[in-house]
């Protein structure tokens, strides 16, 4: 490596650490528009080599000019994005520097073993069945896809059908059943797998958005043939948690496969205090969650867990081309558990986060976010004109202003423009609302209180006095 080779690395390191050090002070929303950014990044493809430091410098400028939101900062409460633990960023830097193909043991022994250990720790931490198989796809959507593919394999094999070889034409119909408030990525996985999303049976939910077990029993009674039931732990708006244990008991009577969408909410299982929320979770057949949300590792990293490793492997990789070494016991090949072939070592930051936080550290992170969420709810309830729309069970609050859609959207817009904090809007049961999602290790009580002040001022400006 020459000095010129090292220079862009040094520059990136300084830009990155400077960014992280100033994260709590920078404007939270992005301020540059598409036209400005296009000008910065666009123009014709350079006809020849340019200095690498100039290239990295350009990225620094895009950030300086407001091209990215401080989404991993302490007062970003939009979507469910999560922050990043310093140790996870550091591990991710090594992932890029080492540039390992994390597909086969033989391609990278240390990466394969670290991923295996991370998977075992996830099972232990969340209280999922020993012996379940674990994969690290790009996100929860791909974890759904992997899970439903494993379910499809098992249910159709039981009916004498080899879906991996023969596909779906002519196969027995697999019914997918989900709560009426399931996340849209369940539909995506159903589409990718050839089930289609149009046929998903939506089970009525209660007032909090949780699947009703009695209604599930009713739906299952009308269905013939293989069934996959998708339960949800953590509604993206309200944080509501389906009664998964009861759902599993009912589904079991119909030989149905139960898949759990626990993108962020499944981390509640790591907290002794919150664990009762997910009682019975271990009875399901597959689980999908994200590390890039509540575990606070960088994008992109999901986790898929399947209680039936043979079905999981059969759905992902059951034949190997001649140039791939045969699997060796004790040497885990990641390609058996995810849809990717070549892939980055995205599980390394997960290993690093779990190794550093330990069991108590993960529980503390999850509980702290929930406590801060409760603080939001309590403080916001004291602001005139604010209506709380959900029972706070996890890390999500929804509020509405002046019982009016226009006023609510106006308050959200004003808060977003404040630069102090960022919240997204949504529609909940037909009414406009503002979402609050607390999933960042950096967020403090002061951040919550400052943000509530901004919301209070916006409400005062938008709602007629009195």
Ligand X SMILES: *Cc1c(COP(=O)(O)O)cnc(C)c1O
**Residues found near ligand X in the complex (CB under 6 A):** 80, 139-141, 183, 185, 234, 236, 261, 263-264, 290, 302
Q: Name the minimum Å distance from CB 69 to ligand X.
A: 17
Pick between residue 263 and residue 455 the one whose CB is nearest to ligand X. Answer: 263
Q: What is the dihedral of CA 26, 28, 30, 31, to 10 degrees?
A: -70
Nearer to ligand X, 69 or 302 (CB): 302
> Which of these, 201, 289, 215, lies nearest to 246 by C-alpha position?
215
Number of H helices, E strands in the chain: 14, 11
Question: Residue 338 CB, nearest distance to ligand X (Å)?
Answer: 13
Q: How far is the CB of 409 from ligand X (least distance, A)?
A: 22
Please say which residue, 263 or 314, places its beta carbon nearer to ligand X: 263
Q: Give the shortest CB-408-to-ligand X separation in angstroms.
A: 22
> What's the distance, CA 8 to chain centroid?
31
In the bound state with ligand X, the residue whose beta carbon lies nearer, of 112 and 266, is 266
**Cβ proximity to ligand X, 209 vs 385, nearer residue:** 209
Nearest distance from C-beta of residue 80 to ligand X, angstroms: 5
The residue among 281 and 386 lying less far from ligand X, judged by its C-beta, is 281
Between the CA of residue 280 and those of 211, 231, 249, 264, 347, what are the distances in Å? 15, 12, 9, 17, 27
Residue number, 11 or 142, with CB nearest to ligand X: 142
The tokens describing 216, both together, are: 């599930």
Toward ligand X, which CB reaches closer, 74 or 139?
A: 139
Rounded CA separation 290/51 (Å): 37
- Beta carbons within 10 angstroms of residue 33's beta carbon: 10
Distance CA 147, CA 44 (A): 43
* Shortest distance, position 364 Cβ to ligand X, whole Å: 22
Residues counted in the chain = 466
CB 85 → ligand X: shortest distance, Å?
18
Decide whether 242 or 410 has the Cβ nearer to ligand X: 242
For residue 107, what are the contacts with CB-CB under 8 A and spacing of at least 6? 100, 101
Contact between 282 and 128 (Cβ < 8 Å): yes
Distance CA 157, CA 179 (A): 26
Question: Is 349 in contact with 297 (CB distance < 8 Å)?
Answer: yes
- Supply the DSSP string of 406-435, one letter for each residue: HHHHHHHHHHHHHSS-B-EEEEETTEEEEE
- Count Cα neighbours of 301 within 13 Å in the Cβ-side half-sphere: 28
Query: C-beta of 205: minimal distance to ligand X in Å?
Result: 14
Tokens read off for 256: 């149905």
Question: Is the Cβ–Cβ distance between 299 and 92 less than 8 Å?
Answer: no
Closest CB to ligand X among residues 156, 186: 186
In the complex, least distance from residue 42 CB atom to ligand X, rounded to whole angstroms: 28
Q: Which is nearer to ligand X, 104 or 229 (CB)?
A: 229
Report in angstroms how near the CB of residue 110 gets to ligand X at its nearest. 26
| H helix runs in 159-308, sequence order | 163-166, 184-192, 213-221, 244-252
- Residue whose C-alpha is closest to residue 248's, from 286, 205, 204: 286
Query: Which residues are registered as beta bridge partners of 303?
Result: 289
Min CB(279)–ligand X separation in Å: 19
Name the closest residue to ligand X (Cβ): 139
Residues with Cβ within 8 Å of residue 51, at least 6 apart in sequence: none
Pairing mode of beta strands 302-306, 424-428 = unpaired
């Amino acid at each position: 490596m020459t000095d010129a080779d090292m220079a862009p690395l040094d520059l990136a390191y300084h830009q990155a650490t400077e960014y992280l050090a100033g994260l709590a002070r920078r404007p939270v929303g992005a301020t540059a528009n598409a036209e400005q950014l296009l000008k910065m990044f666009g123009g014709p493809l350079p006809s020849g080599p340019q200095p690498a430091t100039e290239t990295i410098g350009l990225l620094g400028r895009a950030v300086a000019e407001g091209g990215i939101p401080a989404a991993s900062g302490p007062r970003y409460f939009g979507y469910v994005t999560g922050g990043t633990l310093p140790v996870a960023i550091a591990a991710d830097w090594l992932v890029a520097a080492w540039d390992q193909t994390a597909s086969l043991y033989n391609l990278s022994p240390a990466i394969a073993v670290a991923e295996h250990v991370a998977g075992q720790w996830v099972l232990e931490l969340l209280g999922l069945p020993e012996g379940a198989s674990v994969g690290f796809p790009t996100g929860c959507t791909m974890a759904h896809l992997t899970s439903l593919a494993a379910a499809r394999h098992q249910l159709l094999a039981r009916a004498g059908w080899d879906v991996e070889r023969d596909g779906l034409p002519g196969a027995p119909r697999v019914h997918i059943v989900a709560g009426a408030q399931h996340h849209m990525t369940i539909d995506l996985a159903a589409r990718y797998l050839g089930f289609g999303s149009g046929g998903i049976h939506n089970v009525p939910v209660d007032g909090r958005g949780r699947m009703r077990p009695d209604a599930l029993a009713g739906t299952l009674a009308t269905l013939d043939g293989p069934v996959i039931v998708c339960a949800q732990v953590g509604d993206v708006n309200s944080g509501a948690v389906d009664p998964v244990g009861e759902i599993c008991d009912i589904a079991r009577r119909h030989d149905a496969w139960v898949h759990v969408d626990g993108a962020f909410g499944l981390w509640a299982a790591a907290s002794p205090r919150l664990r009762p929320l997910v009682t019975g979770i271990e009875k399901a057949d597959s689980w999908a969650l994200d590390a890039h949300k509540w575990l606070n590792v960088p994008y992109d990293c999901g986790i898929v867990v399947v209680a039936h490793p043979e079905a999981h492997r059969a759905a992902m990789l059951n034949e190997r081309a001649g140039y791939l070494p045969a699997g060796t016991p004790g040497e885990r090949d990641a390609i058996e558990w995810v849809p990717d072939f070549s892939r980055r070592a995205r599980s390394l930051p997960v290993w690093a986060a779990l190794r550093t936080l330990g069991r108590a550290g993960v529980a503390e992170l999850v509980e702290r976010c929930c406590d801060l969420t409760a603080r939001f709810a309590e403080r916001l309830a004291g602001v005139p004109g604010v209506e709380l729309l959900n029972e706070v069970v996890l890390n999500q609050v929804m509020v509405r202003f002046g019982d009016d859609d226009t006023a609510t959207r106006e308050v959200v817009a004003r808060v977003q423009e404040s630069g102090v904090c960022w919240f997204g809007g949504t529609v909940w049961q037909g009414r406009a609302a503002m979402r609050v999602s607390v999933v960042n290790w950096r967020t403090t009580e002061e951040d919550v209180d400052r943000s509530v002040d901004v919301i209070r001022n916006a409400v005062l400006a938008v709602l007629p006095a009195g």
